[in-house]
Chains A and B, each alone.
Chain A
Amino acid sequence: MIATELAPGDVLDGFCVVSRMYAGGMAVIYEVVHEALPGPAVMKVPRLGQGESSAGIVGFEVEQMMLEALAGGPVPMLYAFSDIEREPYLVMEKIEGRALSAEVSRAPWPVEEVLQTGAAIADALAALHEMGAIHLDLKPSNVMMRPQGGVVLIDFGLARHAHLPDLLAEAFQRPMGSAPYIAPEQVLGIRTDLRSDLFALGVMLYEFSTGVLPFGWPQSTSGMRKRLKTAPHPPRALRADLPPALQEIILHCLEVYPARRYANARQIAFDLRHLDQVSVTELGLNTRRVSLSARVRDWIRGSGFEPSQIDAAELVEDHAPIILVVVALGEGDDRQQQALQRDVERVARLTPEARLAFVAVTREPPVLGTSDEATSAPREHIRLLVELRHWASGVQASAARVTHQILEDNDPGEAILNYARTNRVSHILIGAPTESGRRHLSAHVGKVVLAAPCSVTVVRG
């Protein structure tokens, strides 16, 4: 019995084949059942016949190693694997739901769908990166959407883990990955930068938004290298109604030099969820292709393009945290407010890559609104936002990005916690409860400290 030629009803090591789901160049995938498994499963068998490339079997080993190491992450659960020398196969959780490749044909998608799907992929990438892994072959066919929401990443044959040896290393690295999606540094054979995945996400966002691949589908390495020198057409040139903020995000992901991209996937998820907070530059407004800046061009030609290597320890360290600053507008004494401002400065100085999110919480407006125009909800919202911006302008910080937001919620503690969870905030700075303790925010500091998903600094003046 040849493992790549199983038919429904065949049994291999107790796994009974239900159907042949997919037969590709590198592997065959069956749906299988086994009484000991909690649910439907798939069996992946690599093609190892004569003339098959050795990359196939190494990629298969890499996938097994990665799925084992990433258990609990945004990946299919690994149920079983075999002795690779006898009959190599992997058995893993069957993901109910569809691969995004099935949805790409109807692109351009509505903007809202691009934002939601993009943010869900960015969440999964953030989780993956935080576990110390880089996918390096991100594309729509490797992204599965669960019916109940959430993204599962599949096919880890080219992936890299900071704490495990790179079995795909070779003396002269060739580009590995899918031509339309891989980052410029991958074209040059570099497999150590998690921002390569952010570039691939940018390509997907571009594709979802316009229905077009930003760098086409090059068939050769020299074709792939074009992305080192030529910027893509701005998506708004292909779709006039695309919000400039979304173009800003996409082109920020597609920067040639990794250090000029977003620092991590969390920031992309944040921006996709808060389009109104993205500060739009020329990048987002352009509708004509611009040549890459002379500086980048010279640097590519001159120095041979050397993006920073990220070593194991660095890969998992959070270089670009989101710091949430909770501002109690109209509360607390001046000393405390100033102490909070100084502490924000201190934290921002220590982590210059950080994003500072200034947030104030106000009560929800009455459902029926108010007849008094001066205190109507939108006006009140704007007034608070102006006040918050004014407060934040008192902070001397060169943070990479600053956002301001008014949360409307009758339970300020819960609102802050929700914000921290959804945006994966890594540090909350909040003023200590003031003496009166009756004020809107003061009473909720304890709850924030107890239930926060991250560190909380309570600042006292």
Chain B
Amino acid sequence: MRYGLIADIHSNIEAFEAVLAHAQGQGVARLLLLGDLIGYGADPQAVLERCMQLVETQQAVAILGNHDALACGRAPCEMNEDAQMAIDWTRGQLKPRHTQFLLRLPLSYREEHMFCVHASAVEPESWTYVSTGHDAEACLSAAQADWVFSGHVHDPTLYYSGRDEHMFAFRPTENIPVPVPNHRSWLAIVGSCGQPRDRQVGARYAVFDSIQQKLTFFRVPYDHHAAAEKIRAAGLPSRLALYLEGKA
């Protein structure tokens, strides 16, 4: 079965829809939405409506991210100034049914040998960044799974064990399937769908083929100009628009 792994959509409906269409073309049968559905971007309602529809029809499973938790008032969490401004703005946009949906989201999700979490499997609610091999080792040993899929860090990275049991970071090449056999453990940070931070435009996500045991990372073009203009029109910090345009 093919899973679409989508993280950090961040209220970017243009990016999200482009990824959903691309995933359909890849034969994806099930979506794993890895948290931070909202925050930063200008379309929290549209993104949440789409997520709710996908979850209700059992096409997707969604888990909670730190921006989602803060927006629905579920947990306090330190944020930088731009993020906090965006969250305050986002709160004002949410209808009760959106808040209800967010309040019910799980912190992690396990299916067969896969484990999904927004940040790290080590205390998911402390939102630890996985940015070194050490962090990845801790996350994998807490998750006890062959494949861990996560987001939070916006650049895609695949952590794997080398010859000496240390974990190493691999920066995946777009469109090239990487064999991820389950006699090893793998931690894939799939990259941000709605807010790239690598000065490149496009929506990141990954497809996991559980039969072939292969993982492919994609970057899908979408109308990032429209998404950026909406951020400016909403009066959100301009840096958040520049990210989408690859200029910050």
Contact = CB atoms under 8 A, between A and B. Distances in A.
B235 interface: no
Contacts of A163: 172-173, 176, 178
Interface in A164-190: 164-172
Contacts of B158: 165
B181 interface: yes
A303 interface: no
A169 B163 contact: yes
B163 A85 contact: no
Interface centre among A162, A163, A312 (most CB of B within 10 A): A163
B173 A58 contact: no
Contacts of A169: 162-163, 166, 168
A85 B179 contact: no
Contacts of A443: none
Interface string A122-134: 0000000000000
B166 A171 contact: yes
Interface string B156-188: 001010111010101111001011010100000
A332 B170 CA distance: 54
Size band of the interface chain B makes with A: 10 to 19
Contacts of B171: 312
Contacts of B176: 163-164
A26 interface: no
Contacts of B168: 165-166, 169
A171 B178 CA distance: 22
B178 A164 contact: yes
B173 A312 contact: yes
A170 B179 contact: no
A167 B181 contact: no
A313 to B, nearest CB: 8
A312 B183 CA distance: 25
Given A165-B160, A166-B162, A168-B162, 11 more contacts: A84-B181, A84-B183, A162-B173, A164-B176, A164-B178, A164-B179, A166-B170, A170-B166, A171-B162, A172-B164, A313-B173
Interface of B: 158, 160, 162-164, 166, 168, 170-173, 176, 178-179, 181, 183
9 contacts: A54-B163, A85-B183, A165-B178, A166-B168, A167-B160, A169-B162, A169-B168, A170-B162, A171-B166
